[in-house]
Amino acid sequence: MAAAAVFSYRIFCPIRCSAASNNHDPNKQKLNNISYSGNSTRSTKVDLHSQTTGVASTFVASVAAEKEGCRINEVQIRQNIPTKKQFVDPYRHGLIIEGGVGYRQTVVVRSYEVGPDKTATLESILNLFQETALNHVWMSGLLSNGFGATHGMMRNNLIWVVSRMQVEIDHYPIWGEVVEIDTWVGASGKNGMRRDWLIRSQATGHIFARATSTWVMMNQQTRRLSKIPAEVRAEISPWFIDKQAIIEDVPEKISKLDDTAKYVNSDLKPKRSDLDMNHHVNNVKYVKWMLETIPDRILESNQLSGITLEYRRECGGSDVVQSLCQPDEDGILKDGVKQDTASIRLLNGFSLASEIVDGGGLIASFEKGPLRFTHLLQAKGETQNEEIVRGRTTWKKKPSSMPFST
């Protein structure tokens, strides 16, 4: 057996092992007095020295283990994943909340995360959701070397896969705004886990968006769904919270589209940059493919206020994808327009508003309420197409002025 390679480094990391090392650095002294505050009435002050020392102990333990004959590889040293629960992460601006089991991260909306209207894009928001979820597991001390997988999951060759996700957006953060993202987990049935998120403005306390998702475990080799092993349940169940960002009494089913859909975008091919650490297309890419089928005239005057996704299968780098989109005309009228017998007529079995029948057109009726579209991404096969994800999007008129402005 070949001997494992041993690496040696000069360490220049800002790890503090004693209070004396900070006496002459005013910037480091300020870190110890940092205060994290949300929309609550009280501020939580945390001594970062004690917390950072806990993170540094991971590296110290690694060095000690190597002296005892264990081989620590370069990746482990560079990542420095905590081996025990941390309450503050000064590098990620993260903080454990909710009695020690929830997570809050403070971020600034950057220029590359916004669109032409200087507000954060949906893709940026979804990426922030994913990042805060991974950082939550990072701070728990349970993270192994997988994509959010715990130590028990890695021993059982398991990974997390999302089965359903729902996002509701009231307002979009603007460029340069500081926002707080809270996330927490809970049980979902016998073999699932629910993860929720909430985004608020740090300056005003207004809640911008809420999201909820359902996750299940998959065997990384067989690609089949798996029950949660007892040792994994023992790891994650102490972190469960009986709290939901979005409450659905009965989740609404999304109908399947076919090739007769009004808008179709074919021959979409994943790029290498679209693949994540599990070697399949990242979930955020699915949303991009879906939104590209929305007509420009809708995007110019409307913004997305809600999206629901039902995941069916993985999408690999060799798949050729087709994106289908159908306006939910009946749903628009039913949900967005107040119904009365004088303004509704029947035409070929469908309920139509008077603007349509009287010549105002479909767009005229859209002005009265939200627009809804049904989506489908499918992998094109030689004999039949396979569903990747079903989706539903809801759109509302763009505000005429900046929200919360005086």
In the set 49, 135, 171, 315, the catalytic residue is 315
SS3 content of the chain, % helix, strand, coil (to 5): 25, 30, 40
- Find all residues with CB under 8 Å of 106, minimum gap 6, and list them: 36, 93, 94, 95, 178, 179, 180, 181, 202
Instruction: Tell me if residue 278 is catalytic.
Output: yes
Domain 254-330+369-400, CATH number (from 3.10.450.50, 3.40.50.720, 3.10.129.10, 3.30.420.40): 3.10.129.10
Q: Name the average pLDDT for the chain.
A: 79
Q: What is the pTM of this model?
A: 0.74
CATH superfamily of 81-251: Hotdog Thioesterase (3.10.129.10)
Q: What is the mean pLDDT of residues 94-107?
A: 96
106/36 Cα distance (integer angstroms): 9
Least confident of 103-107, 293-297, 336-340: 336-340
- Flag whether pLDDT at 226 surpasses 50: yes
Domains 81-251 and 254-330+369-400 alike in fold: yes
pLDDT in tens, 6-45: 444 443 444 343 444 444 444 444 444 444 444 443 344 4
349 vs 314, higher pLDDT: 314
Active site residue 315: yes
pLDDT band at 403 (very low <50, low <70, confident <90, very high): low
Residue 375: CA count within 13 A, CB half-sphere: 27
What tens digit of pLDDT does each residue of 42-83 get? 344 444 444 444 444 444 444 444 544 455 678 778 888 888
Of the candidates 22, 265, 278, 302, the residue annotated as catalytic is: 278
- C-alpha 17/C-alpha 60 separation (Å) is 10
Across 74-203, the runs of DSSP E, i.e. the strands, are 88-89, 94-97, 102-108, 158-169, 178-188, 192-201
192-201 and 263-268 beta bridge pairing: unpaired
Averaging pLDDT over each range in 3-17, 66-80, 124-138, 372-386, which range is the top one?
124-138
Torsion on CA atoms 78, 81, 86, 88, rounded to nearest 10: 40
DSSP sequence for 219-238? ETTT--EE---HHHHHHHGG
Question: Which residues does 322 contact at the CB level (< 8 Å), separation at least 6?
Answer: 264, 265, 266, 267, 268, 377, 378, 379, 380, 385
CA dihedral 295, 298, 301, 303 (to 10 degrees): -100
Nearest 5°: CA angle at 70, between 68 and 73?
135
The enclosing H or E element of 353 equals: strand 350-353
* Beta carbons of 287 and 368 less than 8 angstroms apart: no
* Rounded Cα distance, 275 and 316, in Å: 8
| Tally of CB atoms within 10 A around 118 | 14
Mean pLDDT of 200-219: 96
pLDDT band for position 378 (cuts 50, 70, 90): very high
Single out the catalytic residue among 280, 282, 283, 375. 280
CA distances from 94 to 185, 239, 332 (A): 16, 17, 40
- Weakest mean pLDDT among 208-212, 312-316, 366-370: 366-370
For the chain, which residues make up each domain, given as ranges?
81-251, 254-330+369-400
Q: What is the identity of the amino acid at 254? A: I
Confidence of residue 400 (pLDDT cuts 50, 70, 90): confident
